[in-house]
Amino acid sequence: MKVTVFGIGYVGLVQAAVLAEVGHDVVCVDIDQNKVDNLKRGIIPIYEPGLESIVKENSEAGRLRFTTDAAEGIAHGTLQFIAVGTPPDEDGSADLQYVLAVASTIAEHMEDRKIIVNKSTVPVGTADKVAAKVAEVLQKRGVQLEFSVASNPEFLKEGAAVNDCMRPDRIVVGTDSADLKNNHVIDTMKELYAPFNRNHDRMIFMDVRSAELTKYAANCMLATKISFMNEMAGLADRLGADIEMVRQGIGSDPRIGFHFIYPGCGYGGSCFPKDVQALKRTAEDIDFEPLILRAVEERNAQQKNVLFTKLSTHFNGQLAGRTIALWGLAFKPNTDDMRDAPSRVLMESLWQAGATVQAYDPEAMEEAQRIYGLRDDLTLSGTPQAAIKGADALVICTEWRQFRAPDFDQLRELLKEPVIFDGRNMYEPERMRQKGFTYYAIGR
């Protein structure tokens, strides 16, 4: 099938590459000439395991192409995916200007029937706004062309996005046609996703508004589980309980399960913070009080300060002049994404307190450099060992696999003081005490 994807950021690029991988003919459109030129040369703008090879192979095969020419992309695809950003507006709502701009562009150039698919995370009612925008532009052009607007939200996990696309646990499609047995959108989307739907039917069809809400509900539920466990960890710290034992005790209940019940130093990234905020704003706009969403957001904001509080308490508030080693800058492993990362809250608090930071991350060093530039109080170290050399303490913000089994004897020798603040509960407290460390974890 011929597919066009507008926006070659995280979602758009992964989806386009995977569709090309199974044989579809995909054209990607973006306004960033530098990004397009780099992709044509095989330079990927994001770190995502497995993505670079898929982009390269399918580009060489001619199934995946990149352009800044919107008219070329619109002429190419029967399916027009909108995968542009929806950043939070000043009031916390999702900013739809880029989505509607693409809708307008599609309407300006289309010459035949199109299915416009919202892949971006958008508030409930966006499909109606896209349809209205397309109809408005077509009317101004004085042409009558058939078009449909569908919702096909993404459910990708950064660090595992390629696998999530290749082996989706569900494919949600929203369409407002009443005739589900003879529906052009449904038939076309079934054909598009047939290569991913062979073993059992993963496709779930529903009305557009339900599909739009499904995406927000999924992310907000996961964020709620994380914030709930962080709240329980705070209780465990104060009550003398071990949150790891509690996690095992509740996770064994199949109604709860073990997914997303790991306490830590807060969630970050491009999805959870933005989506909780956007759905909260949607609720407020219709005079519905989002009590749980507010609590989730507030607990996460407080959780991102937990490590700094533990550090300050340990050093009796005397952090000025100290050097703190930091392992992990990305908000989670297997990505270089630092958007809303707990590491950023910690570093900025340490700098304000007069401390310096020696940081290491396997993938996010360039991103940290881009965000913070050159600072006297930040050293981006080339190895984990270089980051801890001469530091007063080690803090772990991201649970990268290579941090699971360090040389603790070497670590103890390199640190000024054998103290670890573990924001991801990577080690057993008793083992760390036996190795001579003062060890602070979350809820343990």
Encode pLDDT of 283-296 as tens digits. Answer: 999 999 999 999 99
CB 86 within 8 A of CB 57: no
Strands 2-6 and 79-82: parallel
CB 290 within 8 A of CB 106: no
- Give me the pLDDT at residue 195, please: 94
Phi-psi region of 340 (alpha: psi -120 to 50; beta: other; left: phi over 0): left
Q: Which residues contact 69 (CB under 8 A, 6 or more apart)?
A: 29
Catalytic positions are: 271
Residue labelled with tokens 């507006």: 89
- Give me the pLDDT at residue 91, please: 75
- Give me the pLDDT at residue 305, please: 98
* Whole-structure pTM value: 0.91
CATH of domain 215-302: 1.10.1040.10
- Closest by alpha carbon to 269, among 349, 158, 179? 158
3-class SS at 4?
A: strand
Can you give the residue ranges of every domain in the chain?
A: 2-206, 215-302, 304-440
- Closest by alpha carbon to 12, among 156, 140, 114? 156
Judge if 2-206 and 304-440 fold alike in CATH terms: yes
Radius of gyration of the chain (CA): 24
At the topology level, CATH places domain 304-440 in: Rossmann fold (3.40.50)
pLDDT digit string, tens, across residues 413-422: 999 999 999 9
| Residues β-bridged to residue 27 | 4, 65
124 vs 178, 212, 221, 274, 285, CA distance in Å?
19, 5, 17, 15, 12
- Give me the pLDDT at residue 183, please: 85
> Residue 246 corresponds to which tokens in the numbers above?
């509690």
- Give me the pLDDT at residue 181, please: 57
Torsions phi, psi of 219, nearest 5? -65, -35
> Residue 333 corresponds to which tokens in the numbers above?
């492993």
Q: E strand or H helix at 413, and its extent?
A: helix 408-414
Domain 2-206: homologous superfamily in CATH:
NAD(P)-binding Rossmann-like Domain (3.40.50.720)
Single-letter amino acid code for the residue at 145: L
- Give me the pLDDT at residue 200, please: 80
CB 186 within 8 A of CB 175: yes
- Give me the pLDDT at residue 180, please: 55
Residue 178: half-sphere exposure toward Cβ, Cα within 13 Å: 0
Residues of the chain below pLDDT 50: 179
3-class SS at 420?
A: strand
> Residue 179 corresponds to which tokens in the numbers above?
């005739």
DSSP conformation letters of 169-214: S-EEEE---S-SSS-HHHHHHHHHHGGG-SSS--EEEE-HHHHHHH
Single-letter amino acid code for the residue at 244: E
CB 331 within 8 A of CB 337: yes
